A = this chain, B = another copy of it.
Amino acid sequence: MSKWYIGAGEQNDVVISTRVRLARNISEYPFPCKLNTKSRTELNNLIESTVMKDNKYNLRFVEMKTMARFEAASMAEKHIISPEFASDADGRAILISTDEDICIMLCEEDHIRLQVMRPGYALDEAYELANEIDDNLNEKFDFAFDNNLGYLTQCPTNLGTGMRASVMLHLPALTISGQISKLQTTISRLGLTLRGAFSESNGTVGDIYQLSNQITLGISEKSAIENLKSITLQLCAQERQAREELLKSMDTDDAIFRAYGILKYARVLSTEEMLRNLSLVRLGSVSKKLDLPLETINELMVSLQPASINVNAGQKLNKFDRDVERAKKVREMI
């Protein structure tokens, strides 16, 4: 069962993946926080039965209470659901496609959180599919909408388009050269956010960043997507330029191949160390120094975080056993 994140897409030397998320609420119902478990479950079942009439996108309905805690955590690690959604199963459900590229969270902060994911740079494609699914749902439900404000959402930061679009970027050269913090400041002035995707006590790990739009009010969905596209392409160009410099040095070669050696031979491997080494190995792969397919690196990055290791093992392991299991999987895969 191949998942969406295994694929490689456009601009994948820098852009790992694209996500578009729409927040929608059904006008007859109060926001989820105002509903008790029973009402939320009823609402989820209503949405399910309505969607299932045509089930155009081949979605599967799963109540979160039927899922083990570490399975939900694993989905959050893969960004299929939000960490907040994973943390509490009560009155919550998802509608999810087979390869997990479409996921609709029911009774997260809003009634409907529709998300479409794509490998690589695919903002247009992801937005069009999200928009199409949104139209399909809109035929079946009356969404809470105000002519001045746009779509109504529980949190005012989502009012308007209710859309959050983002790309996951691999920026090792901008990180190593120290340009990243200045870029983060500049980008925030443009109404976007660039932040580390994996954070540990000592900052960002693995040189992976999420670039997302922040403004939803007073802007069309299309304009927001165009803004994000333009900044993404500029960041890609800057990263490539910084890489050109970085890759001239024998020390970079050394770092890349050592990282590969560690991944290939370690017997105990923490998530943080894996991500740190995968960043260098990814740089080696896209610069053709290492012969390792990007698909493998993408899969390792997504599928070997703590909760996902537990899912594979079918039980909650302690940290050491997880680190041993992770090292084993990495060796099998590279």
Residues of chain A having any CB pair with chain B under 8 Å: 250-251, 253-254, 257-258, 260-268, 320, 324, 327
Contacts and interface: CB of A to CB of B under 8 A. Distances in A.
Contacts of A261: 258, 260-266
A250 B260 CA distance: 20
Residue of A254, A265, A267, A324 with most chain B CB atoms under a 10 A cut-off: A265
21 contacts: A250-B267, A250-B268, A250-B320, A250-B324, A251-B268, A254-B266, A254-B267, A254-B327, A257-B265, A257-B266, A257-B267, A258-B261, A258-B262, A258-B267, A260-B265, A261-B261, A261-B262, A261-B263, A261-B264, A261-B266, A264-B265
Contacts of A264: 261, 265
A8 to B, nearest CB: 24
Nearest to A269: B254
- Copies of this chain in its oligomeric complex: 2
Given A251-B268, A261-B264, 10 more contacts: A250-B267, A250-B324, A254-B267, A258-B261, A258-B262, A258-B267, A260-B261, A260-B265, A261-B263, A264-B265
A251 B324 CA distance: 10
Contact of A267 (B253, B263, B267): B253
A320 B251 CA distance: 10
A72 B258 CA distance: 33
A248 to B, nearest CB: 13
A165 to B, nearest CB: 39
A22 to B, nearest CB: 45
- 6 closest A-B pairs (Cβ-Cβ)? A261-B261, A261-B265, A254-B267, A257-B265, A254-B268, A253-B267
Contacts of A258: 261-262, 265-267
A283 to B, nearest CB: 14
A88 to B, nearest CB: 36
A260 B265 CA distance: 7
A292 to B, nearest CB: 12
A84 B253 CA distance: 38
A320 B250 CA distance: 10
Contacts of A327: 254
A253 B269 CA distance: 12
Nearest to A320: B250
A260 B267 CA distance: 12
Nearest to A331: B257
Nearest to A259: B265
Contacts of A266: 254, 257-258, 261
A169 to B, nearest CB: 27
A254 B324 CA distance: 9
A265 B257 CA distance: 5
Nearest to A265: B261
Contacts of A265: 257-258, 260-261, 264
Contacts of A251: 268
A156 to B, nearest CB: 50
A263 B258 CA distance: 9
A183 to B, nearest CB: 29
A268 B253 CA distance: 9
A264 B263 CA distance: 12
